[in-house]
Structure 1
């Protein structure tokens, strides 16, 4: 990997000594502009002592200049493999670091005049921003036509052509073509037609420390525990009030955890929402599921992004009253109430002989309690969530997967079977889609098991084969 602290001046930086006033200067090459803009970010990374981010940035920059953008596997072996060569990406480390680098670029170049840098979504290359496209250096100028008057017939046609061109320009000026509205997938249209602020809710988990069964006398190290019935600190306090015997085992450790797949999915969903609200006075706010309060449903549209296991009760309760699915006790499977079919992720059972290859993604849109819209983009495990985040903004892929309908006022849910390779999402096939049974969900609590009665469960639309 190439590093630099100083480079010789480029041709456009040569001294003006001895040049005439009419001598033109060579414009900076794209390579020089990339390196000049890169130094600003390198200084920022140096001040933050972010060695891995700096090495990653230098590697991406050099490969971009060489016009050989690296793959995720190449980045893993160059930056993150600790000297050993791996045959496939082991986790989401590369994508998490790329996300951090992308956000840092946005912050560094936002207020800085002149060229900036960015990393396009889905790519591992550095792009120059804020400059006009470079002219082709090797372009040969076309020699001017020989001096002299054009023949009379040619002058006549030239005059007619000029008049026609002026008329066309006048038409374009006074009657500009109306911009075509973007084609949004049906699942997004309720949000696209709204004028409310948007609250993005990311799934998170509350972890607390717990000693072994012997309490303070235990010799084992405390462990962090996730209990799906204890979602916040207040829940833990209530639990300990009801079970005082557990108080000696619980340590002061408290953590809020967000999965890396949720962060990567958020990046894609936020890009969709920025495009959806372009030109509108609609704010976009990001909170965690543990911070969600009822006021959000009164004042804004709500978009949940995360695993099904990260749903807060404020979302989970009404959703699964309206849904035709029952959520499993471990939050890793969905059961169709009308047929009894169980859809479970391969990621639940991990063995040395088995690689998870099947996951499930879930999307839903349902009416909120104040005429607003609630949208769910989720998965049973990481591959399902990441595939839904990619699929959500692509109307062609949604149609190709088998759904091209509309979302009724009652709402819609869709389940996708996601092909996976360990934690990598590869593609999706629509399993079913159907209307939600949303009437009255905001006026009553769920049944004991959190599911609607079978007689109220909407039937799934058949998927063509």
Structure 2
């Protein structure tokens, strides 16, 4: 039987077993993906929202789609785990990161005498260790390689202040159902950025936040590690005293004692956001996925959320700025709307500047917007959209 035949046969068996349910939205999602076949490109969130959930004006970053895809993936994984099939049996998978069903036709089990590889389960502790290793490697690299001392970094290198490297993080709280704890979940709510704000929302909106609970968690976007890998060698080569904190830990009086370098997404800037954009010719639009020119009204919006899961090219936008705050702190901002932009801009800012960016960075204060072309998270090309003095 060919791949298509095996795929269709396994889909029919899952239907008969009612793995995706006899009816309902989960079954509709399964049928939509199954009808596309085993070799289909990944559907977009917008397409699924429109075709499966009937959302005519679908959001490119649709939470409903992500929740149902996660549920379907778990249903499939639980089914095969419970069935305990032999290694040679076919199975339908919904791989992480794409919205398409795939057939694993199965292979004969390898001889048990030799163990050739081992897959380690992901855990936050491992993620933290990985970021730590990146930081150590970056520092060692900075001690042995010559980093470019371009105009962005020279004021910080010449300063007597230590450097505060601020990483844009995000607060997460738990929603714990005491009756059905298995349905508890972790939530990122843009209205809640700290334990204190969560307590305030629980008091103000008890119906919505009645099951909310602080669980002591924040997270960093993966692209932040790539930014750190570029920035730390520059600071290490200059012999700067660097303290690394999350943006949620930043306090206003720190700008009286430190120069500040921010690395992260626009949405993770926290207390820095107001000061950075108060003196900017740009402003954040209706969401953190867009920046707007205050004078012309022109808008630059990231396409990453819409097309990240597909092989299509998309545009993300990175924002770079350097200025001296009223406290005397030198502030450098390396940020982006989404993760691709941050990965693309970091090596540019840490390297030899040229063109418009080099010219404007020679001034006391500047800002620049860079368009980064991406594909499935990879940064492929970049272009300076604007470069101005502040």
Instruction: Give me the TM-score of the superposition, normalised by structure 2.
Output: 0.61
Corresponding position: 1:326 with 2:283: yes
In the TM superposition, residue 208 of structure 1 has moved relative to its aligned partner by 0.9
Over the aligned positions, Cα root-mean-square deviation in angstroms equals 3.3
Unaligned segments of structure 2, at least 5 residues: 1-115, 121-126
SS in 1 for 2:152: helix
Alignment check: 8 A CA contact 1:262 1:306 kept:
yes
Larger relative contact order (CA 8 Å, sep ≥ 6):
2
Corresponding position: 1:186 with 2:154: no
In the TM superposition, residue 380 of structure 1 has moved relative to its aligned partner by 1.1
In the TM superposition, residue 242 of structure 1 has moved relative to its aligned partner by 2.2
Corresponding position: 1:230 with 2:187: no
Q: Supply the distance in 2 between the matched residues of 1:318 and 1:304 (Cα, whole angstroms).
A: 12
Q: Supply the distance in 2 between the matched residues of 1:231 and 1:225 (Cα, whole angstroms).
A: 11
Q: Check 1:271–1:80 CA distance in 2 against 1; reply closer, same or farther (3 A cut).
A: farther
SS in 1 for 2:307: coil
In the TM superposition, residue 246 of structure 1 has moved relative to its aligned partner by 3.2
In the TM superposition, residue 330 of structure 1 has moved relative to its aligned partner by 2.7
Provide the residue aligned with 1:151 in structure 2: none
In the TM superposition, residue 360 of structure 1 has moved relative to its aligned partner by 0.9
SS in 1 for 2:193: coil
SS in 1 for 2:228: helix
Alignment check: 8 A CA contact 2:312 2:375 kept:
yes
Provide the residue aligned with 1:262 in structure 2: 224
Q: Deviations over 1:409-433 (max 9, x none)?
A: 4x21110011212111123111101
Q: Supply the distance in 1 between the matched residues of 2:136 and 2:367 (Cα, whole angstroms).
A: 36
Provide the residue aligned with 2:235 in structure 1: 273
In the TM superposition, residue 271 of structure 1 has moved relative to its aligned partner by 0.9
Provide the residue aligned with 2:382 in structure 1: 428
In the TM superposition, residue 253 of structure 1 has moved relative to its aligned partner by 3.2
Q: Whose Rg is larger? A: 1
2:363 to 398, 401, 408: 408
Corresponding position: 1:394 with 2:351: yes
Q: Check 1:186–1:252 CA distance in 2 against 1; reply closer, same or farther (3 A cut).
A: closer
In the TM superposition, residue 368 of structure 1 has moved relative to its aligned partner by 1.4
Q: Supply the distance in 2 between the matched residues of 1:266 and 1:303 (Cα, whole angstroms).
A: 10
Alignment check: 8 A CA contact 1:187 1:407 kept:
yes
Equivalent residue runs for 1:4-153 within 5 Å: none
Q: Check 1:319–1:217 CA distance in 2 against 1; reply closer, same or farther (3 A cut).
A: same
Provide the residue aligned with 1:246 in structure 2: 208
Alignment check: 8 A CA contact 1:364 1:376 kept:
yes
SS in 2 for 1:265: helix
1:301 to 256, 259, 265: 259
Q: Check 1:412–1:80 CA distance in 2 against 1; reply closer, same or farther (3 A cut).
A: farther
Q: Check 1:404–1:81 CA distance in 2 against 1; reply closer, same or farther (3 A cut).
A: farther
Unaligned segments of structure 1, at least 5 residues: 1-77, 83-94, 108-117, 122-128, 130-180, 437-465
In the TM superposition, residue 351 of structure 1 has moved relative to its aligned partner by 7.3
Instruction: Give me the TM-score of the superposition, normalised by structure 1.
Output: 0.51
In the TM superposition, residue 283 of structure 1 has moved relative to its aligned partner by 1.6
Provide the residue aligned with 2:183 in structure 1: 221
Q: Supply the distance in 1 between the matched residues of 2:196 and 2:311 (Cα, whole angstroms).
A: 40
Alignment check: 8 A CA contact 1:359 1:417 kept:
yes
Total equivalences in the alignment: 268
